[in-house]
Structure 1
Amino acid sequence: MKVDYIALSIPIFFILIAIELVYTFYKKLNYYRINDSIANLSQGIGSQLVGIFLKAGTFFGYLYIYENWRFFTFPNAIWTWLLLFMGVDFFYYWFHRYSHQINALWAAHIVHHQSEEYNLTVALRQSWFQSGFSWVFYLPLAFGGFEPIMFLTVSAFNTLYQFWIHTRAIGDMGPLEWILNTPSHHRVHHGSNPKYIDKNHAGTLIIWDRLFGTFQKEEEEVVYGITSPLASWNPVWANFHYWIELFDTFKHSNGFKEKLSVFLRSPGWFPESMGGRQYPKEINLDTYVKYSPVYESKFNAYIFFQFVFTLSIASVLLFTAPKLSLLQLSSNSILVILGLTSFGALMEQKKWAKTIEFLRLFLWLILPILFAKDLFFIYLLIGNTALVFFSFIWFKRLARN
């Protein structure tokens, strides 16, 4: 039986986030900003929804190779699980490392590194399209004969392990630092300081970084984010901005070799005609300022309320996806993403923010009419119609003032 352990863990994620939030508030630690946290969680929601459409195709590749081309069949034994755990973690290291060293892969993975904060919401900030290629790195396990459901289970728990290491609340963990990937090691990985870039690619075990020369101990203060800050709360832009940059470089490159290199070389590479390779600069902590555009605080409560509402819709979609038609699933997913985009635009005070929010509310109102026969129980459960009318009046009053 195929179980989505990550989806089932979502309530636990939010409980742990709440605990960390209370702890940092009590200790007066500025680890959280509402705009950044909403942006992080928006990426996580989008990743899960897009993942519904990608999972079938990506799992098919592993399954096909296992059923037709495997050269061994491992028994369901403890030693097999342990061997598979080591294999998954090993290939995760190489997938993660190459995701930082090849532009076409970094274009997807960059999303996870865009936040200038470091807290448990950052763990949920995931690329919408990374799962479309990450599975390829694990195909040796299919050829080797590791059963597909066993593989999905171990890889899911490898991902779940990495949630708790996205915190600043835990310091050095002593002897465990030699073997496990810890918060300290992973803070380094999220650093944009030149000495921290492309270090500590581990999933669960830090031994791979130590073996293959990519280990870096946490020393000076970590500055989080990417070398050229995203400077946006827009989740759609976050997933596509680096691709746009790559295609712009591609357009100005000369010849086939240069154009191909744009996608296959590492981040920071440019043709000589465009100035050649650019290296990250040291960060001046005295002048460094995090992205945080000023916007009207009267929208805070509205955005938070609507975000929670949208999160509940997304959760329902995740758990009812097998029962929904492609049209129902895709239209609801698009509207959720439209909402996440609208909230980001409101926090940036974009000129088009109010227009897109009114459009979103209108679409959320008519959607139950289109699918009432099959989805009525969902919208009845969350009081969709009443909430949309309430939201429309609330937002209209805010937009007019």
Structure 2
Amino acid sequence: MPHLPDVVLWSIPAFVLLTVLEMISVRLHPDEDAAGYGAKDAVTSMGMGLGSLVVDPLWKIPVVAIYAAVYELTPLRVPLLWWTVPLMLLAQDFCYYWQHRGHHVVRILWASHVVHHSSRKFNLSTALRQPWTGFTSWPFYLPMILLGVHPAAVAFCSSVNLVYQFWIHTERIDRLPRPFEYVLNTPSHHRVHHASQGGYLDRNFGGILILWDRLFGSWAGETERPVYGLTKNIETYNPLRVATHEYAAIARDLRAAHGWRERAGRVFRGPGWQPAPRVTTAVPAAAPAPEATA
């Protein structure tokens, strides 16, 4: 397997430059209705991104070990050729769609991904707001390993997907020409994904392609202006609390849960799941004894 570049690492200077240029653009030509920038919010997003660069290698060690073991067990091999790389990127984007969708509908997975949605701003710095518990994503890419794609190639494709998604975190680009909007994930599609309105929730999960959403019924077009953030926003800029707040909420719900069925629901059902109200049968109070009469 030839050496593949670390696309994310090489892209960091471009991330910084483009973010600074967007900040200047917002300052010189503000849009009163746009989310814009907030100093504390942007610093938190950048801090989350830097933190993920430190934490990611730790949880990637066991993941690489699992991938390597599975790769050795499968007899299939996909060579790294000019025509196989686009097919690998397509397969990775398909797996990413289901990984992303799963992280919105299973609460324990959402606890990791919620970090990326926790900002009430939407700009290029928001793209850097990455979780510190990304170890929840690896099972979704096992099919590629089983089909004979080298783990290094899977990592390369994932990096390309992540880098692509940087530029779609902006309000400075409106809509692209219709053919691009139909096929690709664009700023318009991704603004919908980050919105907290009911009609926009859990829509547009695609990474590079929006075709998966159109195919599997999760696409929504941008009509009204999005309101960014969570349905229940967090009031903190502390990176550690941003990274762990949903795990803490799950722990609180587990302590208060009545029975193992509810505990399982609190972990594996959707983020907004609530158990059915408990029905209690009230026992009527005994009638008072009649007073004695003289």
| TM-score (structure 1 length as normaliser) | 0.66
Alignment partner, residue 45 of structure 1: 50
* Aligned with residue 269 of structure 2, among 246, 249, 265: 265
**What is the distance in 2 between the residues matched to 1:47 and 1:108?**
12
Describe the SS at the equivalent of 1:187. helix
Q: Tell me the alpha carbon deviations over residues 356-398 of structure 1, each in whole angstroms, 9 at most, x when there is no partner.
A: xxxxxxxxxxxxxxxxxxxxxxxxxxxxxxxxxxxxxxxxxxx
**What is the distance in 2 between the residues matched to 1:274 and 1:36?**
40
Moved more, 112-121 or 40-49: 40-49
Moved more, 11-20 or 28-37: 28-37
**What is the distance in 2 between the residues matched to 1:81 and 1:3?**
14
Contact 2:112 2:136 in 1 (8 A): no
**What is the distance in 1 between the residues matched to 2:84 and 2:67?**
18
Query: Which consecutive residues of structure 2, in runs of 5 or more, have no partner in the other structure?
Result: 280-294
1:34 counterpart = 2:39 = yes
Query: What amino acid maps onto 1:21 in structure 2?
Result: M
Cα distance, 1:84 vs structure 2: 0.7
Cα distance, 1:8 vs structure 2: 2.2
**What is the distance in 1 between the residues matched to 2:9 and 2:65?**
20
**What is the distance in 1 between the residues matched to 2:15 and 2:164?**
11
Alignment partner, residue 67 of structure 1: 72
Over the matched positions of the two proteins, sequence identity in percent amounts to 38
Q: What aligned pairs does 1:100-249 form with structure 2 within 5 A after superposition?
A: 100-130=104-134, 132-174=135-177, 175-249=179-253
1:23 counterpart = 2:28 = no
Contact 2:4 2:153 in 1 (8 A): no
Cα distance, 1:270 vs structure 2: 1.6
Q: Tell me the alpha carbon deviations over residues 206-255 of structure 1, each in whole angstroms, 9 at most, x when there is no partner.
A: 00000000000001010000011111101111111111111211122222
Alignment partner, residue 15 of structure 2: 13
Contact 1:253 1:271 in 2 (8 A): no
Contact 1:46 1:128 in 2 (8 A): yes
Query: What amino acid maps onto 1:191 in structure 2?
Result: A
Q: Tell me the alpha carbon deviations over residues 116-142 of structure 1, each in whole angstroms, 9 at most, x when there is no partner.
A: 000000000010002x12111000000
Contact 2:78 2:149 in 1 (8 A): yes
Alignment partner, residue 349 of structure 1: none
Contact 1:103 1:265 in 2 (8 A): yes
Cα distance, 1:44 vs structure 2: 0.8
Q: Bigger relative contact order, structure 1 or 2, given CA contacts below 8 A and separation 6+?
A: 2
Query: What amino acid maps onto 1:229 in structure 2?
Result: N
**What is the distance in 1 between the residues matched to 2:57 and 2:5?**
13
Query: Which consecutive residues of structure 1, in runs of 5 or more, have no partner in the other structure?
Result: 276-401
Aligned length: 273
Query: What amino acid maps onto 1:261 in structure 2?
Result: G
Moved >6 Å (runs of 4+): none
Cα distance, 1:274 vs structure 2: 7.7
Q: Which has the higher helix share?
A: 1
Contact 1:84 1:151 in 2 (8 A): yes
Cα distance, 1:106 vs structure 2: 0.3
Q: Tell me the alpha carbon deviations over residues 183-208 of structure 1, each in whole angstroms, 9 at most, x when there is no partner.
A: 00000000001111100000000000
Q: Tell me the alpha carbon deviations over residues 141-161 of structure 1, each in whole angstroms, 9 at most, x when there is no partner.
A: 000001222221111101100
* Aligned with residue 62 of structure 2, among 57, 60, 77: 57
Contact 1:181 1:204 in 2 (8 A): yes
Q: What aligned pairs does 1:77-88 form with structure 2 within 5 A after superposition?
A: 77-88=81-92
Contact 2:257 2:263 in 1 (8 A): yes
